[in-house]
Copies of this chain bind each other. A is one copy, B any other.
Amino acid sequence: MNHFFKVQSLEQVMALSHQFSAVSIEKVPISDSFFRVLAKDIDATHDIPGFRRATMDGYALHSGSTFGASESNPAWLEVTGSISMGEVPSFSIQSGQAAKISTGGMLPDGADSVVMVEHTEVIGGESAALTGIDREDKAPASYSPTVEIYKSVAPLQNVIDKDEDFKKREKILKSGTLLRPQEVGLAAALGICELPVYKIPKVGIISTGDEIVPIDETPQLGKIRDINSYTLAGLITEAGAKPVQYGIIKDNEEALLSACLKALDETDMVLISGGSSVGNRDFTVNVLSLLKDTEILLHGISISPGKPTILARYSVNHVKPIWGLPGHVVSAMVVFKIVVLPFLRQIQGLSSCKTKNSSILIPAILTKNVASAQGRTDFIRVKLVKQLDINLKDKYQIFAEPILGKSGLIRTMVMADGLLEIGENVEGVERGDLVNIIPFKRE
């Protein structure tokens, strides 16, 4: 029994994440790619939108024809046609001419801008220029109506040029990017129907402890139901990975060893909750020591809650992390969010998340003094409260109210909106201090 307890700082632990690599790649239809991670760089195969397009309803013209035009001194242009949606205009525009166009329509050759319909008035031949939906191009007629232009336009005003959104061969998306709706929309614009993405990692969850019973059992006195299998499954789901539950293993080395091997075979990362303190139930680390080709990287982190966390690297086929998480429900959740998640991001292939501080935190004003021990990073549960600023209309201030309570109480997590991190060199933070909060998901 090797009861070493090598406590490392949070910073040292984060550096260990680089020992693990991303899962393999698959192709998925873009409709299934939302919030997946792109696995290859994508270049533009052509210009977008590909033609000069109106962004307003109005008249396509050469901007020079509107020079100096104003309410009191309008420009008079000959309306030589009308452009249907989705069609290539069959005529071109000369100086002194204009063509009716709708938002999204293609500008004729010779036109470099659009004057908004609100800044025009048609004089004579109204039927040709104003009637409802024109289905055909109107070639210049012998008698053309005239349009008065009350405002000058600059070149490319109220149009999107043919390569203004993206230019052919431009790098548009990098491998490791989270595919939000807009990134998928961009792929759609390029006609990409399938995207190469990292597979969804599977994360195995094993609960340990003789006092833990399945949730559908009524616990006898002295026993409690298995909460961690569910809170951890939720956090894994929230992170975009797939939880796989391996049930409750009693405090028995052989049973835990065989559950670990099964989970390591079937998933990309394994979480063992409970059994990681230096008490008489501390056998997780012993079981991990018995696993083939497994190195224990960590036994203890200088954070609170979450100190008795274990990390081992299993390297039989693919290198995989195995975690021993604290049994207390709050500790297990905090360790997942602060310590495990950056490793999961690495496994998911996310490039922007290789450091723990890549996400945007929420600045808030602390409502109470909070003490903290030096040499340890503390994570304090907080409730966020939004209040209108009495001095400034439409502005508000966010306050962070610390929730004090034992790390075995799930109530404190239900009340909380996020975590306040107090660095290892900080003795405490005071009421009124501006602090940065790591938010939980909320609506």
Interface bits A349-361 vs B (CB < 8 Å: 1, else 0): 0101100011110
- By a CB distance below 8 angstroms, the chain B residues around A255 are none
| Assembly CA distance A27 to B291 (angstroms) | 41
Contact B104 A209 (CB under 8 A): yes
Contact A360 B359 (CB under 8 A): no
- By a CB distance below 8 angstroms, the chain B residues around A190 are 225
Contact B222 A51 (CB under 8 A): yes
- By a CB distance below 8 angstroms, the chain B residues around A281 are 85, 102-103, 133
- By a CB distance below 8 angstroms, the chain B residues around A220 are 88
- By a CB distance below 8 angstroms, the chain B residues around A237 are 34-35, 181
- By a CB distance below 8 angstroms, the chain B residues around A30 are 215, 230
How often does this chain occur in the complex, in copies?
2
- Point out which of A160, A353, A423 has the most chain B C-beta atoms below 10 A from its C-beta: A160
- By a CB distance below 8 angstroms, the chain B residues around A50 are 219, 221, 224
Contact A280 B102 (CB under 8 A): yes
- By a CB distance below 8 angstroms, the chain B residues around A6 are none
| Assembly CA distance A350 to B443 (angstroms) | 9
Q: A201 → chain B, closest Cβ, in Å?
A: 14
Contact A189 B443 (CB under 8 A): no
- By a CB distance below 8 angstroms, the chain B residues around A278 are 57
| Assembly CA distance A165 to B414 (angstroms) | 11
Contact A279 B57 (CB under 8 A): yes
Contact B230 A31 (CB under 8 A): yes
- By a CB distance below 8 angstroms, the chain B residues around A227 are 185-186, 188-189
The B-contacting residues of A in range 130-171, CB under 8 angstroms, are: 132-134, 160, 164-166
The B-contacting residues of A in range 406-431, CB under 8 angstroms, are: 406-411, 413-414, 416-417, 423, 426
- The verdict on A395 contacting chain B, using a C-beta distance below 8 Å, is yes
- The verdict on A442 contacting chain B, using a C-beta distance below 8 Å, is yes
- By a CB distance below 8 angstroms, the chain B residues around A231 are 181-182, 184-185, 188
Q: Tell me which of B86, B210, B394 contacts A211 (CB under 8 A).
A: B86
Interface bits A43-57 vs B (CB < 8 Å: 1, else 0): 000001111010101
Contact B216 A396 (CB under 8 A): no
Q: A152 → chain B, closest Cβ, in Å?
A: 19
Interface bits A104-126 vs B (CB < 8 Å: 1, else 0): 11100000000001000000000
- The verdict on A67 contacting chain B, using a C-beta distance below 8 Å, is no
- The verdict on A317 contacting chain B, using a C-beta distance below 8 Å, is no
| Assembly CA distance A238 to B106 (angstroms) | 33
Q: Tell me which of B182, B226, B396, B407 contacts A188 (CB under 8 A).
A: B226
- By a CB distance below 8 angstroms, the chain B residues around A1 are 132
Assess A230 versus B181: contact at CB under 8 Å? Given A165-B410, A398-B363, A408-B53.
yes
Contact A277 B327 (CB under 8 A): no
